[in-house]
Structure 1
Amino acid sequence: MRELDDARYKAIGARIRDVRLQRNMSQAELAEKAFISVPHMSEVENGKTKLRLSTFVYITEALQVSADVLLRTNTPEVNGIYQGEFNDLLADCSPAEIDSIIKIVKELKTTMRMKKDEYLF
């Protein structure tokens, strides 16, 4: 059971890091906005610490992201958010660009599923 909890904290930390990088934020910027130290932010992103609820709320507010995105990636609401983001990415693409992106995503999906044992969630 403890191993599962550890894996979940690591997965949440990785999602926090991914969103932070997507927002072009440094770890120091996020730590400041979330009212925690940089070393603590590092521990959160690496899944080495358990988050207090208040810290998690500050992190979600600082990242301007729904808690669902960080906690539960397989819920319909979150999938809708991802689909909306994907649509936004394609909105200004030409048909040829869209075709290329779709081919890349299909290949990536195939590769990820072949290596699914390496992913926790």
Structure 2
Amino acid sequence: MEIFITLLLSFAAFALIIWAFMHMRTPRFRMSREQFVKGLEDVIAGQADDNEWRVLTSYPMRHDPELERLRQECLDIEKSEYTGASPYLFTEAGIERLRVMRRQLLTDNTDNHQ
């Protein structure tokens, strides 16, 4: 009888753990437009390092197609203008392209709030 109770309790514990894993959601990182603008501003001002740039551009933005388009544009800028030097991660031409992107994003945000 003790073996049966032990097996039953073991099975119940195992089933509970499996159930918990099945109902856990993986954490999702969702960058807001304000966070994206702040990240761009930090890069433009020379206050961001390579890790901050990676956070800004590494996560797909499925929740916001416009941000995803801008993230892809950032990756295109990175291909031709990225230096990785400190404090400015980009050439002057790259920084100017990021400024244009920032202005566009701020204009879009202003239009959406009116």
Normalising by the residue count of structure 2, what TM-score does the alignment of the two structures yield? 0.29
Which structure has the larger Rg over C-alpha atoms? Answer: 2
Normalising by the residue count of structure 1, what TM-score does the alignment of the two structures yield? 0.28
